[in-house]
C-alpha cells in the first residue's frame, strides 16, 4: 500500500472517530436540553397550580369571613332506578272489580303499612353530617398571618396581654394571650405572628378573646412563631398535602382543636409541621420557631 493511500485511510479513520465523538456529544447536549426544558415546565406548572390554589383559597377565605359555610358537594354514586314493566303480564291479567280495588286500598288492622325510605330525599337539619365534614385534620383550622397593632397588660390579670391584632379584616380582633412571663411587651408591638382565627370566642377575665396566638411551647419556655418577612396581615397559612377548607367557627363540643393539636409540632429544622408536613405562606416561605425543636405548637 502506498504512503498516500495509507494517509487517506488514516484520515478516514480519524474522521469517523471524530464524527462518532461529535454524535455522542450532540446526544448528551440534546438530552440535557430536554431535561432542562422539562424542569422549566415542571416549575411553571407548579407556579400555576399554586396561583390557582391561592386564588381559590382567597375566595374561600372571603366567603368564610362573610359567614358563608363551605359545604362539600356530595357525589351521586348511583343513578335513579328505573321501573321495569312486564307488558305481557299486564295484558294477560284481568281487570280487578271495584270491590277488589276497595279491599286492596284498605290497610290491614293488624299490620301497619310499610314506609320506604326515599333515596333522593335531602337530609334534614340535624341529621348525620357527610363524611367530608367529619374528617378532623389541620384543613379545618383558619390560620392566618396577623400583626399586633396595639398591646397592653390585661387590666384584671398580670400574666395576660390584651392585644389588638390585624388579621386582614375590617377591624383588628381582640386577642388575649398568656405571654407576659415569656415575651417582653416591647417585642409584642407591631409583631407579625400566626393567629388561630376560627376558635369560638371566649371571655378571659371579663374580656372577649377572638382568637389565639400560636407559639412553640415547653413548660419552661414559650416562643412566638417566626413568619416570612414579606407576609402581610390576612395571609392564609397552608399545610403541604392538605387542602385548606376551614370551618366558619369550630364547634367546641367536637374537640377538633384538641384532636389536631398533638400533631402540630416543630421539627429538627425548627419548621412548624402537622404530622411532619410543613406549614407555609404560599410564595413567601415557611413558619419556623426561633430555637425550640421537637416541641408542641399551641
Q: Are 272 and 264 in contact (CB under 8 A)?
A: yes
Q: Is residue 71 part of a domain?
A: no
114 domain-assigned = no
The mean pLDDT of the chain is 81
Domain presence at residue 32 = yes
- The predicted-structure confidence for 176-194, as pLDDT tens digits, reads as follows 999 999 999 999 999 999 9
Question: Which DSSP category does 224 fall into?
Answer: E
What does the pLDDT average to over 131-146? 86
Which band of pLDDT confidence, cut at 50, 70 and 90, is reported for residue 141? very high
Range of the domain at 284: 138-147+190-297
Q: How confident is the model at residue 11, as a pLDDT? A: 81
Query: Which one of 23, 48, 64 terminates a domain?
Result: 64
CATH label of the domain that carries residue 219: 2.40.50.140
Residues 6+ apart with CB under 8 A from 287: 194, 225, 226, 227, 237, 271, 272, 278, 279, 280, 281
User: Do 143 and 19 share a structural domain?
Assistant: no
pLDDT at 109: 52
Q: What local confidence, expressed as pLDDT, does residue 70 receive?
A: 62
> What cell does 266 get?
416543630
Asked if the structure places residue 131 within a domain, the reply is: no
Distance of CA 2 to the CA centre of its chain: 81
* Statement to judge: residues 195 and 53 lie in one domain: no
Tell me: do 142 and 20 sit in the same domain. Answer: no
142 and 276 assigned to the same domain: yes
* Same domain? 142 vs 243: yes
Question: Distance between CA atoms of 145 and 228, rounded to whole angstroms?
Answer: 9
Mean pLDDT score, 104-121: 50
The b/e string for 112-145 (b: 16+ C-beta within 10 A; e otherwise) is eeeeeeeeeeeeeeeeeeeeeeeeebbbbbbbbb
Same domain, 198 and 53: no
**What is the CA 15 to chain-centroid distance, rounded?**
62
Last-in-domain residue among 64, 79, 96: 64
Q: How many angstroms separate the CA atoms of 69 and 176, rounded?
A: 26
Question: How many domains would you assign to the chain?
Answer: 2
**Residue 36: inside a domain:** yes
Q: What is the H or E stretch that residue 222 is in? A: strand 222-224
pLDDT at 130 over 80: no
Verify that 35 and 143 share a domain, yes or no.
no
Amino acid at each position: 500500500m502506498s504512503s498516500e493511500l495509507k494517509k487517506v485511510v488514516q484520515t478516514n479513520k480519524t474522521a469517523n472517530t471524530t464524527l462518532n465523538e461529535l454524535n455522542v456529544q450532540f446526544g448528551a447536549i440534546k438530552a440535557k436540553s430536554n431535561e432542562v426544558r422539562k424542569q422549566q415546565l415542571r416549575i411553571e406548572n407548579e407556579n400555576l397550580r399554586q396561583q390557582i390554589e391561592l386564588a381559590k383559597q382567597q375566595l374561600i377565605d372571603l366567603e368564610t369571613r362573610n359567614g358563608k359555610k363551605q359545604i362539600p358537594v356530595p357525589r351521586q354514586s348511583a343513578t335513579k332506578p328505573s321501573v321495569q314493566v312486564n307488558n305481557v303480564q299486564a295484558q294477560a291479567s284481568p281487570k280487578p272489580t271495584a270491590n277488589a280495588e276497595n279491599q286492596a286500598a284498605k290497610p290491614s288492622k293488624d299490620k301497619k303499612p310499610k314506609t320506604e325510605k326515599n333515596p333522593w330525599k335531602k337530609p334534614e337539619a340535624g341529621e348525620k353530617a357527610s363524611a367530608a365534614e367529619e374528617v378532623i385534620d389541620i384543613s379545618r383550622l383558619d390560620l392566618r398571618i396577623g400583626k399586633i397593632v396595639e398591646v397592653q397588660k390585661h387590666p384584671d390579670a398580670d400574666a395576660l396581654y390584651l392585644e389588638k391584632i390585624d388579621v386582614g379584616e375590617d377591624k383588628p380582633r381582640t386577642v388575649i394571650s398568656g405571654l407576659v412571663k415569656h415575651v417582653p411587651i416591647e417585642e409584642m408591638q407591631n409583631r407579625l405572628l400566626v393567629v388561630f382565627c376560627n376558635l369560638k370566642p371566649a371571655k378571659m377575665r371579663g374580656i372577649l378573646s377572638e382568637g389565639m396566638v400560636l407559639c412553640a411551647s415547653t413548660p419552661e419556655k414559650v416562643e412566638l412563631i417566626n413568619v416570612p418577612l414579606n407576609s402581610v396581615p390576612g395571609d392564609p397559612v397552608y399545610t403541604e398535602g392538605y387542602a385548606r377548607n376551614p370551618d366558619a367557627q369550630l364547634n367546641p363540643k367536637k374537640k377538633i382543636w384538641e384532636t389536631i393539636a398533638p400533631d402540630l409540632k416543630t421539627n429538627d429544622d425548627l419548621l412548624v409541621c402537622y404530622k411532619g408536613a410543613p406549614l407555609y405562606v404560599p410564595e413567601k416561605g415557611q413558619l419556623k420557631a426561633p430555637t425550640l425543636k421537637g416541641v408542641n405548637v399551641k
